[in-house]
Amino acid sequence: MDAVDHINVDVNGLDACYEFYREVLDLDLLRPPSDFQGDHAMFEAGETVVTLAETGRAEAWDERGLDHPLDKAHLAFETDRATYEALIDRLDGQFPKQGPYDWGEFEGFYFLDPDGNLLEVITYDPQPAGMERQLLDHDSIHE
């Protein structure tokens, strides 16, 4: 395998998720819902296509069903430090142990989309000089 070509995300509410992926995550729009006969929207993150498909099969997890983000499969997006920090500011407080996490070569922060799909944003950019933040790690699962 050379790369991930595309990812389909099941959603129950396409309108809310479409807005979230477009406005909050700022993904590049490839095809809006009006381009499809069914309820779909297609975005691009780097070279990977992310398709939202309104299937009615979204898992709809929320803070009550998520003890730790490593309990659930997720989709991770890479971004720069400024965007990463802005997403943490906007989405923190959804559930315990969202992060940020020290994953060695990068930091990661978990959050939920409007239908409860678990997402992660990561950055390879180092913390700015003077920033001191406690980062979680794999051992945080057992705390």
What are the structural domain ranges in the chain? Answer: 6-54, 69-142
Q: Could you read off the pLDDT of 36-82 as tens digits, one per residue?
A: 877 899 999 999 999 998 887 776 666 566 666 665 678 899 999 99
**What fold characterizes domain 6-54?**
2,3-Dihydroxybiphenyl 1,2-Dioxygenase; domain 1 (3.10.180)
Domain 69-142: top CATH class: alpha beta
Beta bridge partners of 10: 53
3-state SS, residue 101: strand
Average pLDDT of the residues in 7-34: 92
